[in-house]
Each structure stands twice: as C-alpha cells, then as structure tokens.
Structure 1
C-alpha cells in the first residue's frame, strides 16, 4: 500500500480531485475529512498564484499538513 500523500500515514487511501487544483491525490481518511492539501502542492500552487499576498482568502484558510505540527492553515504553514 502507498502512504497518504499528505501526512504519510499507512493504510487505506481515498483518491479524489483537489478543490481549486486540476489534479487528484491519495489521502488517508483523516486528511480527506480535513480536506488537507499535501504541503508540496500547497507550496507550488501558492507560487503559481504569485505568493500568499495574491492568494484568495479561501486558499489561505485551506488546510495542509506540516510534519511535527499537524493540520495547519496554508497561510500559517507558508509564512514560516
């Protein structure tokens, strides 16, 4: 089995399209419930937008997973 693409947990995956991004990921049930984006995708998409200052509020408030910190809003994860 493959690990969750967002938090790395082993176990069953749900594959679904990400809101606002034309791609899909394999997330564990916890990440799917949190509607969490993989950190690498959050970083790349924010760069494509032009940075946090150009991003919509819904994007900044979206959730990613930061190792050692857990589920974190994108605006907090990328501001560090």
Structure 2
C-alpha cells in the first residue's frame, strides 16, 4: 500500500477530529489517524524519507495534522 497523499491524510484528519467531538490535541488526532482501518501496519511502520534517522509514519501524520489544524 502506498503512502497516503496529503489529501487522504487531510480527510483522515477531519474524520478523526469529528470522531473526537470536534476538539482534541494533536496527539489524540494523530493516534486516531494512525489507528484508522484503511492504513495497513506496513504503512504505519514505513520510514518517511530516505534515511533511517528520518521520522517514521506517525511523525509524517503529526506534521500533516499540525498543518491541517493550524498549529
């Protein structure tokens, strides 16, 4: 499964925020997005970038959540 696009992550972020009652911390939103059934375990473990020091998928989600939520 390929890495979700920005638009797909934004959609997951909006749904997560709705599921959490419209207000949640970035960490709560990140966790809800990561747990979404459309994301495979392989995608969640996928390195983001080209080196092993690069943050993994949860950090990738966190960056998108922060942008989407204006943080």
Band the TM-score falls in, shorter-chain normalisation? 0.3 to 0.5
**Higher normalized strand content (fraction of residues):** 1
TM-score relative to the length of structure 2: 0.36
TM-score relative to the length of structure 1: 0.33
Relative contact order higher in (CA < 8 Å, ≥ 6 apart): 2
**Higher normalized helix content (fraction of residues):** 2
